């Protein structure tokens, strides 16, 4: 299997530390808001990576953190904790916010057929581990206390900017738009390992520590949580490209200083989903969620298919027009795969192996999902029997996870039912538009009209639902 490694900036043959086994870590969501479809592009691509490794025969253990403390509004050490800001916005406690958005995140993942990692650990579960790592860093001389915070001293490293040949200024500019110089830092790139109460009085969650009551910096969680579950040597670490600096750069700095040896061999970074305003981002507010796509009538798997059509290492432009193209291609594809459902009997082993090898070769070519989908189309066109095609589609879907052989639940639907459903969906869209224009009389009229036809509608977070009464 060949993978692009951001650390070496080359496509390399993947060789795990222990033969046949893969230790894999994924930076999880910061749970102060719904995940947007940009975040979910990263998780879809990472899911395909994990499933490709499994498909290739590796025994994979995958760990993900949940960031529920310490991620400030700037990725550097300035601004308010995102979780505290989320709690204030919704008049809830930080833990309520964390529980709610963690649940929503995994619901979205389920809709997108993203497998739950083997271990999911919230940062607030591991405070003793963070404190221990910081103590060791202090003992080894890689950290210092200043202004009641504990900082990592980047000047102690031979190389800090491990990911790039960009110059220091550019990297600082990329990540720290609103940075204000912290006078306690000895070097500009130093970062906080532990904040004390002196910094943000309104921080909701605080813990006792050898340096006073406070809370951890953002980066320490991923180093500690990965080591807790995967040990001192890791094979693959994943995240979106925006995590390369400062987050992953700082993770490597503190982990390798703590361990005294190389920590993770391969770094897998997914490029951004952009819309017309650039990178989709929770803080910019230009976000689209899975629920919004559903409200607009898209099966979430259409979005998964849309993502799989492009390479994870290229930025992906999102427009509804492009999503419509993916929708139509996905529907046509499913029609063809579902037509194989009645096929019975054994697959032709030679043909099965031939196409399985081609599929694996596409994935092994730095997770080339669009090429893997081409192999799927080749199977559908192939001069072989339907039982073999069905077996291959089923096999490929272990990685693609597009429900290619899952008949829709309303398969028994009559043409009259379909007509009614289309009519109701149209009326719901009209009502939504009326509400947007504050034409509540029209919105009520549509509701009444549907009711008179025996259709009750209900507004929920998932959008407007309807049922026959
Ligand atoms: P966050 O919840 O902000 O910690 O981000 C969760 C994951 O989504 C991280 O791996 C980010 O790098 C990634 N991410 C954030 N924005 C985007 C985007 N527009 N496109 C793709 N991935 C993103
Ligand atoms: Zn992380």
Decide if 152 contacts 137 (C-beta within 8 A): yes
What are the beta bridge partners of residue 266?
Answer: 236
CB within 8 Å of 165: residues ≥ 6 apart = none
* Atom number of ligand 1 nearest to Cα 26: 10
pTM summary value: 0.85
Q: Which ligand is nearest to the CA of 67?
A: 1
Residue 205's pLDDT is what? 83
Helix/strand/coil for 315: coil
What digits encode the pLDDT tens for the residues 151-170? 999 999 999 999 975 555 45
What digits encode the pLDDT tens for the residues 412-425? 666 677 788 888 98
- Please list all protein residues whose beta carbon sits less than 5 angstroms from ligand 2, which is an ion: 27, 222
What digits encode the pLDDT tens for the residues 103-136? 999 999 999 999 999 999 999 999 999 999 999 9
Half-sphere exposure of residue 153, counting CA atoms within 13 Å on the CB side?
Answer: 13
What digits encode the pLDDT tens for the residues 51-101? 999 999 999 999 999 998 777 766 667 677 787 888 888 888 888 889 999
Decide if 272 contacts 280 (C-beta within 8 A): yes
- For residue 69, what are its two tokens? 């403390």
CA of 392 from ligand 1 middle (Å) equals 33
Give the span between the Cα atoms of 236 and 3, in whole angstroms. Answer: 10
Give the span between the Cα atoms of 440 and 463, in whole angstroms. Answer: 17
- For residue 37, what are its two tokens? 């479809």
Q: Per residue, what are the HEC states of 156-197?
A: HCCCCCCCCCCCHHHHHHHHCCCCCCCCCCCCCCCEEEEEEC
Residue 337's pLDDT is what? 97
Give the residue carrying structure tokens 């950290």: 143
Residue nearest to atom 18 of ligand 1 (CA): 38
Residue 444's pLDDT is what? 93
Cis omega before residue 246 (within 30°)?
yes
Helix/strand/coil for 331: helix
DSSP state of 345: S
Please give all residues whose beta carbon lies within 6 A of any atom in ligand 1, as ranges: 27, 29-30, 38-39, 41-42, 67, 239-240, 242-243, 270, 272-273, 279-282
Domains (ranges, CATH) in the chain? Answer: 2-270 (3.40.50.620), 413-469 (no CATH)
Helix/strand/coil for 239: strand
Which mutation among 25, 39, 40, 75 tests ligand 1's pocket best, with the greatest number of atoms within 8 A of CB? 39
Residue 198's pLDDT is what? 55
Taking phi first (over 0 means left), then psi (-120 to 50 degrees means alpha), and beta for anything else, what does residue 297 get? left
Q: How many residues does the chain have?
A: 469
- For residue 218, what are its two tokens? 């953002």
CA of 272 from ligand 1 middle (Å) equals 8
Residue 76's pLDDT is what? 65
CA of 39 from ligand 1 middle (Å) equals 4
Regions of the chain with pLDDT less than 70: 73-76, 78, 165-180, 197-202, 410-415, 462
Decide if 331 contacts 305 (C-beta within 8 A): no
Give the span between the Cα atoms of 448 and 334, in whole angstroms. Answer: 37
Helix/strand/coil for 327: helix
Decide if 240 contacts 39 (C-beta within 8 A): yes
Residue 372's pLDDT is what? 98
Distance of CA 368 to the CA centre of its chain: 18
Strands 21-26 and 191-196: unpaired
Decide if 155 contacts 100 (C-beta within 8 A): no
Residue 180's pLDDT is what? 58
Residue 176's pLDDT is what? 42
């Amino acid at each position: 299997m060949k993978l692009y490694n951001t650390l070496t900036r080359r496509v390399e043959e993947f060789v795990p530390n222990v033969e046949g086994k893969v230790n894999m870590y994924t930076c999880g969501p910061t749970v102060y808001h719904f995940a947007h479809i940009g975040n979910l592009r990263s998780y879809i691509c990472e899911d395909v990576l994990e499933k490709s490794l499994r498909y290739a025969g590796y025994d994979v253990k995958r760990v993900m953190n949940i960031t529920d403390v310490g991620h400030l509004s700037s990725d550097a050490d300035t601004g308010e904790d995102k979780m505290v800001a989320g709690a204030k916005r919704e008049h809830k406690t930080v833990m309520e916010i964390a529980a709610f958005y963690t649940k929503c995140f995994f619901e979205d993942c389920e809709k997108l057929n993203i497998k739950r990692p083997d271990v999911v650990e919230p940062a607030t579960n591991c405070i003793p581990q963070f404190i221990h790592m910081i103590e060791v860093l202090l003992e080894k001389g890689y950290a210092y206390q200043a202004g009641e915070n504990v900082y990592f001293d980047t000047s102690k490293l031979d190389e800090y900017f491990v990911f790039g040949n960009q110059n220091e200024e550019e990297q600082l500019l990329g990540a720290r738009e609103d940075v204000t110089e912290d006078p306690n830092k000895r070097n500009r790139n130093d970062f906080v390992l532990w904040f004390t109460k002196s910094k943000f009085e309104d921080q909701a969650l605080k813990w006792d520590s050898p340096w006073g009551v406070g809370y951890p910096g953002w980066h320490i969680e991923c180093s500690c949580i990965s080591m807790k579950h995967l040990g001192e040597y890791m094979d693959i670490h994943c995240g979106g490209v925006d995590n390369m600096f400062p987050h992953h750069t700082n993770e490597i700095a503190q982990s390798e200083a703590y361990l005294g040896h190389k920590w993770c061999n391969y770094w897998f970074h997914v490029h951004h989903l952009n819309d017309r305003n650039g990178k989709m981002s929770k803080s910019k507010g230009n976000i689209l969620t899975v629920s919004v796509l559903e409200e607009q009538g898209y099966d979430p798997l259409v979005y998964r298919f849309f993502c799989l059509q492009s390479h994870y290492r290229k930025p992906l432009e999102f427009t509804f027009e492009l999503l419509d193209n993916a929708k139509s291609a996905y529907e046509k594809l499913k029609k063809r795969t579902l037509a194989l459902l009645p096929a019975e009997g054994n697959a032709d082993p030679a043909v099965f192996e031939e196409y399985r090898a081609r599929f694996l070769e596409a994935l092994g070519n730095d997770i080339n999902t669009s090429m893997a989908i081409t192999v799927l189309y080749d199977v559908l066109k192939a001069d072989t029997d339907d039982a073999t095609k069905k077996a291959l589609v089923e096999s490929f879907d272990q990685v693609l996870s597009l429900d290619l052989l899952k008949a829709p639940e309303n398969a028994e639907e009559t043409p009259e039912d379909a007509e009614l459903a289309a009519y109701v969906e149209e009326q719901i869209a009209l009502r939504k538009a009326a509400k947007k224009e504050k034409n509540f009389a029209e919105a009520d009229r549509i509701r009444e009209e549907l009711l008179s036809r025996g259709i009750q509608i209900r507004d929920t977070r998932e959008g407007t639902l309807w049922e026959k009464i």
